[in-house]
Structure 1
Amino acid sequence: MRGLALCLALSLAGQGAGAEAPATSPRPMPRLQLAAPDITPDPPVPEPQGQSPVRPKRRPDLSPPAAEVVLTVPVAAEPAPLRPRRRPDGLNASFAAPLAEAGQGTGKTKDKAKDKTKDKATQKGSVCGDPEIKGEVLAAIKGKVKGCGIEAPVRVTAISGIRLNQPATISCETATAFKTWIEQGMRPAMGKREVVEIRIAASYICRPRNNKKGAKISEHGRGRALDVAGFVFSDGTQWSVARDYNSQTRKAHKAACGIFGTTLGPGSDGYHEDHLHFDIAGYRSGPYCK
């Protein structure tokens, strides 16, 4: 509106330059009153009765906060210095005897283990409960003639490391006595000559004494006698009783007296000129040795 009035005034001024000025100054037209539009505010929303204002709830913790991990390294305590405690009096004495008997602490443990292994090895193939007597156990022998037979016979193949040229079927009592003669009589009698084989002439045989008809059953018929015909030595030489009844053979023959109940040989009765007869018969008067 001001701009319109200004333009009108300038126009009149230009005309007045050559005309007379008006008696009064024109007044500006009054401004039109612009009415502001009526704005009706929205009615207030009433709050529901009996309810508390809605507020957002606190979210629950979805997962517990991670605990702070603190690694701790245990520190080993400094060990106390090790010092042996004083032994009680008499402790050594109480253990000395058992250790000595067991062979512990004396270097004998290994030796005993070796001996046990050796014992097991030597027991294999032995009879009569003696590892030095080798052979096999036989079934009881029933004789066809009354008085003959062996209740518990064994077939012996070697005694005290000396082989027999043929197995001898005898009783264990006879085998044990023969072993004693080998170790205590024959070997000492032979001196430095090592016997490796004994030649057996007879063992178990069911017959009468000296093969005489009507005579009593020989001790051979009971497995209680052995006949030795000769010896074989480690150097290969051989002695026979018939040919080599020398001082050493005589000494071995004599050493059997007492170990056996009966010992016979060359010159005794004419029936034993080529062998030594040993049996374990017992007599009230003592051993019969010729």
Structure 2
Amino acid sequence: MTRFWVIGLVLASAQLAWAADPAASLRPTPRGGNAVEQPITLEQSGALAQPQQSVEQDAAKQRGGLFSSLRPLFRSPKAAKEGRAKKKLLAKGAVCGDLAIQGERVGRVTGKLRGCVIEDAVRVRSVSGVGLSQRSVMDCKTADALKVWLDGSAKPALSKQGGGLSSIRVAAHYACRTRNNKKGAKLSEHGKGRAIDISGFRLVNGTEVSVLKGWNAKRYAKAMRRMHKGACGPFGTVLGPKANRFHLDHFHFDTARYRSGSYCK
């Protein structure tokens, strides 16, 4: 009787163990040198690892989103370099983004007549080391054209005269008026900040050469004509002593453009 009672007790214990952990009761045990592969658990299969991976991905997305939102606040190295260069130019008195053009930014300029507007004007005092007799208001396109003309024509033309070109005498720059100040005429390019009139040149040794007297002077005639011709291209309109009676004493340069090309006379 006792023997049957012991056997019953063992069977009952086995049933309780199986109910508590069925997976454990089915696990095969290693056998002599031929180990049977253990079944992959849920943790090993990645079924429980997936939520952890999702959390890491979400964290990465959040980090990326944060830095993405901050990206506009950070400037690229190129943009930062350009910004620093611009500040240095302004600190040195440069306008139009060119160290050779010295002056100050004026901003928007308007006049009494319709169309007398310069959206982003500058007041220029010197270009390529050549001084202007008066600080002249114009747009940057005109200032750039003036630089091209001075470097390519005016300075070379007078390089052998009195030590070279020192400054130019400005007869007119921005002025809200009609062409040749005629009533009812079209608005002058001066009224748009696109023109400059030059009446003379001062050399390093102090000599002054006017357009009126120098145009036909034996010593300066060649240089005068070279400067007049050299302006045709950088400027859209070039008028000199041969144009009409209004330009006997000065050169008129403006940056108006025509389909047929520059108008030079």
TM norm structure 2:
0.63
Give the Cα–Cα distance (whole angstroms) in 2 for the partners of residues 125 and 191 of structure 1.
Answer: 26
2:148 pairs with 1:180: yes
- Per-residue CA shift, 1:81-121, capped at 9, x if unaligned? xxxxxxxxxxxxxxxxxxxxxxxxxxxxxxxxxxx99x957
Percent identity over the alignment? 50
Q: Is the 8 A contact 2:240 2:252 kept in 1?
A: yes
The corresponding residue for 1:84 is: none
Higher radius of gyration, 1 or 2: 1
In structure 1, give the amino acid aligned to 2:103: G
| Secondary structure at the counterpart of residue 221 of structure 1 | helix
Q: 1:192 to 1:150 in 2, by over 3 A?
A: same
Which one has a larger percent helix, Structure 1 or Structure 2? 2
Give the Cα–Cα distance (whole angstroms) in 2 for the partners of residues 238 and 130 of structure 1.
Answer: 28
Give the Cα–Cα distance (whole angstroms) in 2 for the partners of residues 187 and 139 of structure 1.
Answer: 30
2:124 pairs with 1:156: yes
2:259 pairs with 1:288: no
Q: Give the CA deviation at 1:167.
A: 0.4
Q: Give the CA deviation at 1:139.
A: 2.8
Give the Cα–Cα distance (whole angstroms) in 1 for the partners of residues 186 and 91 of structure 2.
Answer: 38
Q: 1:159 to 1:141 in 2, by over 3 A?
A: same
Give the aligned length: 174
Q: Is the 8 A contact 1:230 1:241 kept in 2?
A: yes
In structure 2, give the amino acid aligned to 1:275: H
Q: Is the 8 A contact 1:122 1:132 kept in 2?
A: no
Q: Is the 8 A contact 2:153 2:231 kept in 1?
A: yes
Q: Give the CA deviation at 1:187.
A: 1.4
| Secondary structure at the counterpart of residue 214 of structure 1 | coil
Query: Which one of the candidate residues 209, 212, 236 is aligned to 1:261?
Result: 236
Q: 1:127 to 1:121 in 2, by over 3 A?
A: closer
In structure 2, give the amino acid aligned to 1:188: P
- Per-residue CA shift, 1:226-249, capped at 9, x if unaligned? 000100001111100011111211
- Per-residue CA shift, 1:34-71, capped at 9, x if unaligned? xxxxxxxxxxxxxxxxxxxxxxxxxxxxxxxxxxxxxx
Query: Which one of the candidate residues 195, 212, 218 is aligned to 2:165?
Result: 195
- Per-residue CA shift, 1:131-182, capped at 9, x if unaligned? 0000000131122211112110000000001111100100000000000000
Query: Which one of the candidate residues 209, 212, 222 is aligned to 1:239?
Result: 209
Q: Is the 8 A contact 1:170 1:223 kept in 2?
A: yes
Query: Which one of the candidate residues 183, 194, 199 is aligned to 1:229?
Result: 199
In structure 2, give the amino acid aligned to 1:209: R
The corresponding residue for 2:248 is: 273
| Secondary structure at the counterpart of residue 139 of structure 1 | strand
Q: Is the 8 A contact 2:89 2:98 kept in 1?
A: no
Give the Cα–Cα distance (whole angstroms) in 2 for the partners of residues 121 and 267 of structure 1.
Answer: 40
| Secondary structure at the counterpart of residue 190 of structure 2 | helix
2:93 pairs with 1:128: no
The corresponding residue for 1:250 is: 225
Q: Give the CA deviation at 1:191.
A: 3.2
Query: Which one of the candidate residues 184, 187, 211 is aligned to 1:214?
Result: 184
Q: Is the 8 A contact 1:160 1:179 kept in 2?
A: yes
**Which structure has more RCO (C-alpha within 8 Å, separation ≥ 6)?**
2
Give the Cα–Cα distance (whole angstroms) in 2 for the partners of residues 187 and 124 of structure 1.
Answer: 23
| Secondary structure at the counterpart of residue 99 of structure 2 | strand
